[in-house]
Amino acid sequence: MLRFLVRRVLGAAVIVLLISAITFFLFFALPSQPALMSCGKNCTPDALAVINRNLGLDEPVPVQYWHYVVGVFAGRDLTVGHCPAPCLGYSFSNQQPVWDTIMDRFPTTLSITLGAAAVFLVAGVGLGMIAAAFRGTWVDKVVSSLSLLGHSLQVYFLGVVALAVLVSGLHWLDNPEYHPITEDPVKWFTGMIIPWLVLSVIFVANYTRMTRSQMVEQLAEDHVRAARAKGLRRRTVFFRYAWRGAMTPIVTLFGIDLGSLFGGAIITETTFSLHGLGRLAVTSVSETDLPTLMAVMLVGCTAIVVANIVVDAAYAVIDPRVRLA
Amino acid sequence: MTTTPAPFLTLRDLRVQFPTDDGVVKAVDGLSLALPRGRTLGIVGESGSGKSVTGLAVLGLHDPRSTRISGSILLDGQELTTAPEPALEKLRGARMAMVFQDSLTALSPYYTVGRQIAEPFRKHTGASRRDARLRAVEMLGKVGIPNPARRVDDYPHQFSGGMRQRAMIAMALVCDPELLIADEPTTALDVTVQAQILDLLGDLQRQTGSAIVLITHDLGVVAGTVDDLLVMYAGRAVEYGPVGDVLGAPRHPYTWGLLSSVPRLTSDVTKPLSPVPGAPPSLLDPPPGCPFHPRCAYTERVGGDRCRTERPELPEGRGAACHLGPERARALFGGARRTGTGGDRP
């Protein structure tokens, strides 16, 4: 297990480094002038050159990338002052180091992701198991139809409907808003309920259908029938034998979904005016705020890479046939 | 023939049907048999002849939502076809157990072999976790797994194919069942391991005196192992009797055909084997009359339309379900074919 982790973490570091390099060079291939941002209205070519020099933008791209990487681990001195490690650069549009912006937005994304993941995992797997247990009956048909419906709904539609009904119509909840859980857990919870539920709907549908088909497949397995032949109760066999086998692909799916959600749920955040990484990515694109965009991408790809490692480790826990090496 | 003791398992006119969109599949169509304790019944037939379906029906493992079962299954006098699920759960694994064909898929990959063996023992005897584990070790030793105290914590994938099949037998026998249904227990194994597994079943039967149903399509397996033989075709018994009679002097053209299609060490290898021509009939729409008549070479000898219109029955539940009758069958197939290991076991 330790060897596996060391190997995978090293591999992950290489992947993240590669992605960061590719992103970095791609951004510099863009016809953008980062220096224009801080040049002001009456920008003269001379002033622009000064700024470019101050920002280090007159150096070759590989050198700039090297400074960037060193900055992440050791910090670096920028024209605006020292940027301590981990330094992801300085954003002129936000007037602060990128790392601070990320740390400001990440808790929102984390809250949305974990809450929604809990909802869709429990609801999706639960509904899928119910549908499988009552396969072929009206219960199964209702669950299956609902999941198809849920799958075709979109967050920007369902979100607006939820706001109209729950907030404006029934006044059950306030407008979604992020409060740090450390300050007020109750407000944190009530402020997040609508985004959680709305974001979950699409995922619930997916997990329901996946769980149902996996369970149906598992229930037809020889070892499930053999367990029944031992005199075990239908329920025991359902949970102990069939469910265990059905979970493996679900865990994979869950890991990947979780990883991509950590990169920011753009539509959900926009719909509910939440300031997470997703919206940060959108604004940094429209403002050509390359350091911030770069940082959001790095967070996103790191999350996916880490999620993959966790999934593989979880695999070994679930299935004794899987060897970690 | 010696007088048979009271049967432990009795099937009377068992019918297992699967309604589908295309019609009703008659997988077992009026099967009767009787099996006393301490004896072994072999059921042979091609794929789809209803052998496994019969075995699963006895344990009540068919999904009641997609299966219609009628007739009677008596286990020690208790009717199983109408028994409620909890009553069946008490019998399964305790008084009747089943060994499946493919031990790789029939053992759960997620739990240790020991746990899977101990599970029914705990459930049926209420033994503690510790005692059940000891029992699992004991059973693994009994079925010939070396170093059982250590192997008990292995997962099925750490066992070889033969060891897995032994483990499955241990799992089936952990509560000393009085009836063991072994569904192709040796089909997935190589020949030397096959013989070991069959010997093991025989040894365990001598110790516990249980009744065994051995389902197979391999006539070589039944010849030295079983007491009685039931030949199934299209969900029906076509021949039923002591194994020596059935194999030594078959009275049904289908049994004769099966025997002729078995390669033998003593036979002339330059001559091709003679397989039974044609394919098993559709169970959705079986042929009228004798279900075997489209593949039978002897309908002319019976004469007229009898084979096509009139369904032959087993006379008094034994012998052959064939219009030829025992006299003509003996003249046609009689005694010509001796099985290498055939005959009743002493």
- pLDDT exceeds cutoff 60 at B340: no
The total number of structural domains in chain A stands at: 2
In a domain, A324, yes or no: no
Q: Is the dihedral of CA B101, B105, B108, B112 positive or negative?
A: positive
- Examine residue A265 and state whether it is found in any structural domain, yes or no: yes
Q: Among A101, A119, A145, which residue's Cα sits nearest to residue A277? A: A101
Which residues in chain B touch residue A315, judged by CB atoms under 8 angstroms apart? none
Element (H, E) at B25: strand B23-36
Chosen domain end from A96, A131, A151: A96
Verify that A187 and A90 share a domain, yes or no: no
Q: A232 vs B123: CB contact, 8 Å cut-off? A: yes
Q: For position B111, what pLDDT does the model report?
A: 92
Residue A161 and residue A285 in one domain: yes
Pair A72, A198 in one domain: no
Chain A partners within 8 Å of B90 (Cβ): 231
Structure tokens at B76: 């020690």
Residues A77 and A146 in one domain: no
For residue B90, give the chain A residue with the closest CA: A231
Q: Reply yes or no on whether the pLDDT at B153 is more than 90.
A: yes
Residues A107 and A45 in one domain: no
Q: What is the pLDDT of residues B91-145, one digit of tens each?
A: 999 999 999 888 788 999 999 999 999 999 999 999 899 999 999 999 999 888 8
**Sorting pLDDT into bands at 50, 70 and 90, what band is B335?**
low
Reported confidence tier of residue B343, pLDDT bands at 50, 70, 90: very low
Residues of A in contact with B87 (CB under 8 A): none
B107 touches A: beta carbon within 8 Å: yes
Structure tokens at B271: 């001559």
pLDDT tens for residues B237-257?
999 999 988 888 888 888 888
Do A286 and A150 belong to one domain?
yes
Q: How far is B132 from A229, CA to CA, in rounded Å? A: 18
- Spatial separation of the C-alpha atoms in residues A27 and A31, rounded to whole Å: 9
Q: Which residues of B are less than 8 Å from A323 in CB distance?
A: none
Residue A195, in any domain of the structure: yes
Helix (H, G, I), strand (E, B) or coil at B262: coil
Which candidate, B40, B44, B75, places its Cα nearest to that of B242? B40
- State residue B25's pLDDT score: 92
Same domain (yes/no): A107, A44: no
| Residue A287 belongs to a domain | yes
What mean pLDDT comes out for the span B5-16?
A: 89
> Is the CB of residue B119 less than 8 Å away from at least one CB of chain A?
yes
Question: Does residue A325 fall inside a structural domain?
Answer: no
What is the interface pTM, i.e. ipTM, of the complex? 0.84
What is the residue range of A117's domain?
99-318
Contact with chain B for residue A319, Cβ under 8 A: yes
Angle at A21 between CA A18 and CA A27, to 5 degrees: 140
Specify the 3-state DSSP secondary structure of B253: helix
Which of A230, A232, A322 to probe by mutation at the B interface, max B CB count within 10 Å? A230
Domain check: are A117 and A225 in the same one?
yes
Per-residue pLDDT, B346: 35
Q: Which residues fall within 8 angstroms of residue B297, CB to CB, at 6 or more apart?
A: B253, B277
For residue B232, list its beta bridge partners. Answer: B237
Average pLDDT, chain B: 86
Are both A71 and A111 inside the same structural domain? no
Look up the CATH number of the domain holding residue A115: 1.10.3720.10
User: Do A268 and A199 fall into the same domain?
Assistant: yes
- Cβ separation A231–B98 shorter than 8 A: no
Mean pLDDT by 10 residues, chain A (325 residues): 84 90 80 66 75 74 85 80 80 81 88 90 93 88 87 81 80 79 82 86 89 91 90 90 89 87 81 84 82 86 87 84 71
φ, ψ of residue A71 to 5 degrees: the values are: -60, -35
Torsion of CA B217, B218, B222, B224, to 10 degrees: 180
- A240 and A314 belong to one structural domain: yes
**What pLDDT sits at residue A38?**
62
Tell me the pairing of strands B236-242 and B96-99. unpaired
What is the rounded CA–CA span in Å between residue B239 and residue B44?
A: 10
Last residue of a domain, one of A65, A96, A127: A96
B120 touches chain A (CB under 8 A): yes
Please tell me the predicted confidence (pLDDT) of residue A40: 66
Model confidence pLDDT, tens digit, residues B35-93: 999 999 999 988 888 899 999 999 999 988 889 999 999 999 899 999 999 999 999 99
Minimal Cα–Cα distance from A219 to chain B, Å? 11
Q: What pLDDT score does A41 carry?
A: 67
Q: Which residue among A224, A233, A321 places its CB closest to the CB of B89?
A: A233
Of the candidates A231, A241, A244, the beta carbon closest to that of B120 is on: A231
Interface contact A320, partner B, CB < 8 A:
yes
Could you tell me where the beta strands, DSSP code E, fall in A11-114? 76-78, 81-83, 90-91, 96-97
Structural domain ending residue among the three candidates A96, A118, A151:
A96
pLDDT of residue B124: 92
pLDDT digits (tens, 9 = 90+) for B19-39: 999 889 999 998 999 999 999
Q: Count the Cβ atoms, other than its own, within 10 Å of residue A4.
A: 15
Q: Is B161 helix (H, G, I), strand (E, B) or coil?
A: helix
At residue B339 the predicted structure's pLDDT band, cuts being 50, 70 and 90, is very low
Given a cut of 50, whether residue B345 has pLDDT beyond it is: no
Q: Does A228 touch chain B (CB under 8 A)?
A: yes
The model's pTM is 0.79
A295 plus A178 within the same structural domain: yes
